[in-house]
Each structure stands twice: as structure tokens, then as C-alpha cells.
Amino acid sequence: MAILDIRVLGDPILRQATIPVTEITDEIQRLIDDMFQTMHHARGIGLAAPQVGRTERIAVVDVDDNPIVLINPEVVQPSSGKAKGEEGCLSIPDIYADVERPKDVVVRAMDLEGNEYEVEATELLARCLQHEIDHLDGRLFLDYLSVLKRTAALTKWKLEQGKYPGFIRRTALETPEERKRHEHPDEEL
């Protein structure tokens, strides 16, 4: 398994629609394993393939220790009731905002064995599933903000983005220990 680099705001791949998966190969299974490891390492509750530079329609989520694989997911039933809640994004580090979305959703997707399933979700899981499916359609939570709030978020992001040359967040090297191990692989910590 591997911790993958995460693409950040400004990388065009985050604005591209993804391509449905037609065959669940060993390579796709490895990608999904790596996505779980990357998401957990980054302390996220979801991760979509474009965030790790891939174009497949795949996402993973893990809310309340309930890991879910989503291959070719679609929201099939959004509730008419809406809810506002705070969102962050592993591709826009340190920027948070309240986003209004359908409160509950039914999502249809395929699992690792290629079996179709539906998940009925409420609260944080519903929000996270919608956030990840948005990534697969090239949408980001910033797109839902008022002009004023989006401008404020983008102004803050301009101050942050220099930390991510080439729009790459090297998640595996975010702690001083990880950086030291990378720079001096033969030294004991």
C-alpha cells in the first residue's frame, strides 16, 4: 500500500469529470487500497480519485469507522430538505466553510466485487457522499458559496497555495519525522 500525493486547488484535474469504471482490475483494487491509506493518513473522511491524480469514477469514504468503496456512484434520491454544515477538503487545506446541501441522500454504486448496492445516508455521511460525488463531476464545495464567501476563501487560499508547488500536497511528508526519514533514510530517528 502507498500514501499518494494529493492534488490541490489549481490542478486542472480537480475540474474534470471522471470516466466510469468498466472493469475492476487488480490495479483498480490497489488504487482503492492506496486511497484508503492516503485518506486515513491525511485524517480525512473521504477521498475521490481526481484528488490523487486519477480520472476513474471512484471514491472512498469512512465516517464513524464504516469504510465504503464507491465505484461509479450516483446520487439517485436527494431529499428536498436541506441542511447547512461545515466542510473542509483535503485538496484545499485549511479552508472551511458552511455549505447547504440536501439533508439525506440515496447513493447507488458498485463495490469492489462489482456488485451494485444502495446506501441511504443522513447527517455527516450524506454530506461526505455528496462532497465526493461532486469531486467526480469536477465540482468543489467552494462552488456553493456566495460570491463574498468564495472570494474570502480564495483570498485565504492564495496565502496558502505557495506551500504546494505544482499543486501537489506531499501528504506522506507532512510531519517533521516523515520529512526527516525521507531526507535521511539511513539514519535512526
Q: Which is nearer to ligand K1U, 93 or 110 (by Cβ)?
A: 93
Cβ-proximal residue to ligand K1U, closest one:
88
List residues binding Zn ion (CB under 5 A).
89
Q: Cα(53)–Cα(21) distance, rounded to whole angstroms? A: 15
132 is catalytic: yes
Mapping DSSP onto H, E and C, the string for the chain reads: CCCCCEECCCCHHHHCCCECCCCCCHHHHHHHHHHHHHHHHCCCCEEEHHHHCCCECEEEEECCCCEEEEEEEEEEEECCCEEEEEECCCCCCCCCEEEEEECCEEEEEECCCCCEEEEEECHHHHHHHHHHHHHHCCCCHHHHCCHHHHHHHHHHHHHHHHHCHHHEECHHHCCHHHHHHHHCCCCCC
Residue 93 interface partner, choices Zn ion, ligand K1U, none, CB cut-off 5-8 Å depending on type: none
Of 27-35, 66-74, 84-92, 101-109: span binding ligand K1U (CB under 6 A): 84-92
Q: Which is nearer to ligand K1U, 72 or 130 (by Cβ)?
A: 130
Instruction: Determine, following the binding rule CB under 6 A, whether residue 105 of this chain makes contact with ligand K1U.
Output: no
Q: Using an 8 Å Cβ cutoff, are 103 and 168 in contact? A: no
- CA atoms 45, 27, 73, 150: torsion sign: positive
Query: What's the closest the beta carbon of residue 95 comes to ligand K1U, in angstroms?
Result: 10
Of 30-38, 76-84, 89-97, 100-108: span binding ligand K1U (CB under 6 A): 89-97
Instruction: Determine, following the binding rule CB under 6 A, whether residue 5 of this chain makes contact with ligand K1U.
Output: no
Encoded one letter per residue, x for contact with ligand K1U by CB under 6 A and - for no contact, window 115-154 reads ------------xx--xx--x-------------------
According to CB under 6 A, which one of 3, 31, 37, 44 is a site residue for ligand K1U?
44
Residue 45 interface partner, choices Zn ion, ligand K1U, none, CB cut-off 5-8 Å depending on type: ligand K1U
State the catalytic residues.
132
